[in-house]
Copies of this chain bind each other. A is one copy, B any other.
Amino acid sequence: MDAFEQLGKTFFDWEAMVAVLPDLLTVGLPNTLLLALASGIIGTIAGMILAIMGISRNRVLRWIARIYTDIFRGLPAVVIILLIGLGLGPVLREITGSTSPYPLGILALSLIASAYIGEIFRSGIQSVEKGQLEASRALGFSYGSSMQLVVVPQGVRRVLPALVNQFISLIKESSLIYFIGLVASERELFRVGNDAASNTGNLSPLIAAGVFYLCLTIPLTHLVNFIDTRLRVGRKQKPEPDDPAAMIPTSGGVRA
């Protein structure tokens, strides 16, 4: 067998791929989605809190947010997952009696995601024109209400593409929770592919898992680009028959 053929068989063995399909579909895919979605949602909420702490006028809150972010973005994900898994595992077991690794895995992924998402939100919020806060305060809204009603909602909209990118990372990072220990039915896409590869000595199942990832990530990437373009170009303006000025292209309009 020549090297090229050998490579083809190692990576593109159809039978091996088809054999792993059922597990990928019924075990890996739902678990990957569950992990990414759950930690995406929790990470977004926590990230929002972090962002608000990060731009707060209270120096202590800003510092806490800063240190949290530095640590959870700076450490390799595996280290965090192990720390959470081993550190909180017994506590969780004591309280709930559950030995499922999912709560801990989701917690660890959420902590990591929140550090990134916090930075995304913070930069989005800081990119909102100062005039918006000023206008809101001039109406008589307090700083807090102004942030909540006017600034934050706009900042969040702007960072949607970055958020979706973060979610794509989560999909791929979710495979790391196997460090906490998974029973067979708890494995996500990568692990299912990896185990099948181990049993057959053929890497094709990994490629099959890779294709599943692509099916999740590529549509999301295009969603990002779509949102991004739409945010950049702006909502299509309707011509205004009663007012010629409404036909100014967005790029020529007044932007602070």
A interface residues, Cβ below 8 angstroms from B: 3, 7, 10-11, 69-71, 73-79, 82-83, 86-87, 90, 123, 126, 130, 168, 172, 175, 190, 203, 206-207, 209-210, 213-214, 216-218, 221, 228, 232, 251, 256
Q: Which of B87, B172, B210 contacts A7 (CB 8 A)?
A: B87
A216 to B221, CA, bound (A): 29
- A164 CB to nearest B CB, Å: 12
A76 to B216, CA, bound (A): 12
New contact pairs (4) apart from A74-B214, A76-B213, CB-CB < 8 Å: A73-B217, A74-B168, A79-B210, A83-B207
Q: Which of B70, B78, B79 contacts A218 (CB 8 A)?
A: B70
Given A74-B221, A168-B73, A210-B79, do A87 and B126 touch, yes or no (CB 8 Å)? no
Residues in B whose Cβ lies below 8 Å from that of A69? 221
- A50 CB to nearest B CB, Å: 14
Interface contact B75-A214, CB-CB below 8 Å: yes
Residues in B whose Cβ lies below 8 Å from that of A10? 86
Interface contact A7-B71, CB-CB below 8 Å: no
Interface contact A86-B7, CB-CB below 8 Å: yes
* Residue in A69, A216, A217, A256 with the greatest tally of chain B CB atoms within 10 Å: A217
Interface contact A206-B82, CB-CB below 8 Å: yes
Interface contact A78-B190, CB-CB below 8 Å: yes
Q: Which of B73, B76, B83, B203 contacts A175 (CB 8 A)?
A: B76
Residues in B whose Cβ lies below 8 Å from that of A76? 172, 175, 190, 209-210, 213
A78 to B178, CA, bound (A): 15
A151 to B256, CA, bound (A): 22
* CB nearest neighbor in B for A215: B74
Q: Which of B86, B90, B207 contacts A203 (CB 8 A)?
A: B86
- A47 CB to nearest B CB, Å: 15
A7 to B70, CA, bound (A): 23
